[in-house]
Every structure is written in structure tokens, then in C-alpha cells.
A and B are shown apart, each in its own frame.
Chain A
Amino acid sequence: MNILELLFRRPQKNSAQVAKERLQIIVSHERATNHTGRDFLPVLQQEIIDVIAKYFTGIDKNSVRVELQRMGSCSVLELNVALPEQNEETA
């Protein structure tokens, strides 16, 4: 290690903080898959449909697509909601 590295070394993030962040990610991920023993995505999808149906009529199961993708350490939850045509126009 040369003197420049010593002088300009970035302060290390403390390891307890790193441990906590890593644990929060892995534990929430494992809870989603192990704990309930069931796939939570269909339940999530149904609940989202129920909420949207409060505000828009004509929402059905096929209008909401839910996907969970894992990219390295983070997960991306992708929601696609196709809203029905305005009621006035369809009626």
C-alpha cells in the first residue's frame, strides 16, 4: 500500500451496518419464499385487483400482471395494470 492510498483511503463503512443491511435483504427475501410456505404473488395480485376495483369498474384478473425479478442483491417488483376504458365511453 503506498502513501497515497493510506492518505486517501475511503473511510470503511462500519461492518455492523453492512451486516444489518445484508440481513434485512436476505431475511425478507427468504420470508417471502419459505415462511408462508406458499407463493405470495397470487395473493398480492388479488389484493391489488381488489384495491383498484374500488376506483375503477371492470377490472378483472387479467388486467393486473405482477412479476418479481431478482437482480443480484435487489428484487424488482413489476406491476402492470391495464385500466379498462372509461365507463361513460363503454356504456
Chain B
Amino acid sequence: MAAQIIVITSGKGGVGKTTSSASFATGLAMRGFKTVVIDFDVGLRNLDLVMGCERRVVYDLINVIHGEANLQQALIKDKRVENLFILAASQTRDKDALTQEGVERVLQELQREFDYIVCDSPAGIERGAIMALYFADTAIVVTNPEVSSVRDSDRILGILSSKSKRAESKQEPIREYLLVTRYSPARVARNEMLSVNDVVDILHIPLLGVIPESQAVLNASNNGIPVSLEKESDAGQAYLDVVARFLGENRPHRFITENKKGILGRIFGWANRDKVEDAV
């Protein structure tokens, strides 16, 4: 069977698409699936930095599309996880270099070799974002519990159901999942932040997972490590749960309620703030 194409998208920038793409792809590879993650943010590539392979990029997606390099030259094999490959975006070209025929050809070639193809979409609804989602079988819509992000996610859902290849050729629609990121249960408890149920109510798509706001995410990206490799961290575990649910496992949602700390926890809590306190 041909590889499944998954787009990580959101409309709004800065919500965690690249972090999620890196962690999700890494999680799939950790489960033994041959996975490639592609950066579609031509001109503003960052997936290479988050994955920690920025100094190994020689050829990129645009080079392959334009026939200046072949896929084997452009694919970067991850050094930590077996079965994981990265295809970087070009830093010098602009998004017009992404032709639909070129993207299709690259994806078809990758489909013969891989189990999953994860497309990291740029922000916005311009060419790069459209190309990232156009050939997708599944979309993971990354949303922060905040008004502009939710509105933009709804807009992206509209585009998935009207401008994708599946929509245009009247095939079965793209499967859509919600991933809520930067979630702060304490602020939700104080009614200062939209709850995950509020977001689900508005967007009406199945919830794949909730990633808590976590220092671990910044630490991981500082070090060029996908946070799903930080198995002790809350965010890392949340991403591994997301991968498990995506693969059909039934896992209860975690990190969506506030940890009630005792007095000792309050005093010593700072020491392991980004560790999991009650892994249930």
C-alpha cells in the first residue's frame, strides 16, 4: 500500500506546527514505521533546526523538484532514530518554486519507499501551505486555545474540504484531526483560557491530543531534539500518546487538568517542573 500522506497545518503561525511535525514523525519512526518529514516552508526553513540536522543539509526539496539532485541525495537520515528521514526546504528560493507537478512527483517517489510522509506546512494560506495540504490523506490541525488560532484553524478546515486534491477530484475527504498545543490547564481552570472542549465544540473535528505548555518544548528545540525523544517530559509523553492514538490505540487524554500540588510539591515543584508528576 502506498504511504499515507499527513499534513501538519494550522493557518496561523507560531502555534507549533514544526515542533509537532518533528515530534509526530519521530514518534511514528520510533514505532518502527519508515517515515519522512518534509519542510514545505520554502525560504523560511526551520524543521532542520528543530530536528538538529541543520548542518547536514546539502540538497533540499526544491533541488529535487527541479532535478538538481535526486531524492537519495536530499534525504537526511536521522542519527538517533532508525527509519526516520528529513527533507529540508530551500532557504534561498521562494515559494513559487514549489510546482504542483513537482511536489506530486516527489511524493509519489517517496510513497514507494515509506510508510508515512509527514508534510510540515508553512503558516498562511498561500502557495506553500496549499502545496503541503494538496495531496494529503490526513490533516492534523494544530490549534492554540486562543481566538485567532481557532479562527484560522476553521479557515484551514474550509480549505482542506474545498481546495485539496481529494476535494477537487471528489474522492473521500481528507481525514481531519485536532491537536491542541500550548495548553495550560491552570489558566483553563481560572477561566482565562479556552478549554479543549470549547475548541472541539467550535471546530467539530475529532481530538487527537493535547500538548501542554511546557518548558520541555523550548529545551528540546534549543538542543535540536524532537521533544518526543524526551520521554520523561510531559510534552514528550503527550506527543507519544498522539502517535499511539493515531495508530488506533485507545489512550486517555492526559495533561488537561491542573495538577493539584501539596505544600511540599509547591516548594519543590520548581525542581522538576517539566517532568510528569502524575502519569495516569
Binding site for B on A (CB under 8 A): 14-17, 19-20, 22-24, 26-27, 30-31, 34-37
A-B contact pairs, 22 of them (CB 8 A): A14-B192, A16-B191, A16-B192, A16-B194, A17-B191, A19-B146, A19-B147, A19-B194, A20-B201, A22-B147, A23-B147, A23-B150, A23-B151, A23-B202, A24-B201, A24-B202, A27-B150, A30-B154, A30-B155, A30-B158, A31-B158, A37-B162
Cβ of B256 < 8 Å from any Cβ of A?
no
Shortest beta-carbon contacts, A-B, top 4: A14-B191, A35-B158, A16-B191, A20-B198
A16-B192, A16-B193, A34-B158 given; 19 more Cβ-contact pairs under 8 Å? A14-B192, A15-B191, A15-B192, A16-B191, A19-B147, A20-B194, A22-B147, A23-B147, A23-B150, A26-B151, A27-B150, A30-B154, A30-B155, A31-B154, A35-B157, A35-B158, A35-B161, A35-B162, A37-B162
Beyond A20-B194, A23-B202, whether A34 also contacts B155 by CB under 8 A is: yes
Inter-chain CA distance A36–B163, complex, in Å, is: 11
Chain A residues with CB under 8 A of B188: 16
Inter-chain CA distance A35–B158, complex, in Å, is: 5
Cβ of B10 < 8 Å from any Cβ of A?
no
**Interface of B: prevailing SS:** helix
Inter-chain CA distance A75–B188, complex, in Å, is: 30
Chain B residues with CB under 8 A of A14: 190-192
Question: Which chain B residue lies CB-closest to A38?
Answer: B162
Chain A residues with CB under 8 A of B198: 16, 19-20
Inter-chain CA distance A26–B154, complex, in Å, is: 10
Inter-chain CA distance A35–B160, complex, in Å, is: 10
Cβ of B195 < 8 Å from any Cβ of A?
yes
Inter-chain CA distance A42–B198, complex, in Å, is: 31
In the complex, the answer to whether B192 meets A27 with C-beta atoms within 8 Å is no
User: A57 → chain B, closest Cβ, in Å?
Assistant: 37
Inter-chain CA distance A47–B151, complex, in Å, is: 29
Most buried by B among A16, A24, A31, A37: A16
1/0 contact trace for B90-101 toward A, CB 8 Å?
000000000000
In the complex, the answer to whether A27 meets B151 with C-beta atoms within 8 Å is yes
Inter-chain CA distance A31–B150, complex, in Å, is: 13
Chain B residues with CB under 8 A of A31: 154, 158
Chain B residues with CB under 8 A of A35: 157-158, 161-162
Chain B residues with CB under 8 A of A15: 191-192
Inter-chain CA distance A23–B147, complex, in Å, is: 7
Inter-chain CA distance A23–B204, complex, in Å, is: 13
Inter-chain CA distance A23–B154, complex, in Å, is: 10
